[in-house]
Structure 1
Amino acid sequence: MGLFSSLKDAIFGSAEAKEVAVKKAPPPPPAAVAPPPPVLQPVDLDETLAYMAEKRGQPSNYKTSIVDLMKLVGMDSSLANRKEMAQELGYTGALDGSAEMNIWLHKAVMAKLGEAKA
């Protein structure tokens, strides 16, 4: 399993994602018998990440920083891991931890996460 899969699983499989889905589920109709279990809504990436950041209570720039995004989900954001994920996602530039690489990586990760939730 690659680093992107680990990141995706850390978001979509998180307790926070389940909590957000339950909050968004429509309330059950009133009934005399036990209601069916709530139908969970698909994971909302933006709401889940915001909720994760709120629960951790630490400043985070996860919306634009790959390092902060990785830290938010409990991943090692070292240069070695960012290089590995960049290669995994098809980055062809210098794997030097530059702003260019990190910006590209963040955009690529967010795009793939958007595809995964659809």
Structure 2
Amino acid sequence: TVLYDMVTVLCDTVTVLCDIVTVLCDTVTVLCDTVTVLCDTVTVLCDTVTVLCDTVTVLCDTVTVLCDTVTVTVLCDMVTVLCDTVTVLCDIVTVLCDIVTVLLCDT
């Protein structure tokens, strides 16, 4: 009976360990699914930002050309400052997107 009791305890222990491993696996699966969804969301957001920034760049280039042609100094100066600000913001967001993409999607 001692051997039987030991085997029973061993089996019970293995069962508990298996249950723990199952829970861990399920947890990892949920985490991976969540990261995948986050990655997809970040990718869409970053792609949208890229398109917006590209559009702003084209608009700013167009305004710059127009300002070189027509002299509306005050307005042009304001637009130039605005464009410079947007360019800096776009650069910052692009870097942030790259970092988040690497952290979420490439690991």
Pair in the same fold by TM > 0.5: no
Structure with bigger gyration radius: 2
TM-score by length of 2: 0.30
Using structure 1 for the length normalisation, give the TM-score: 0.28
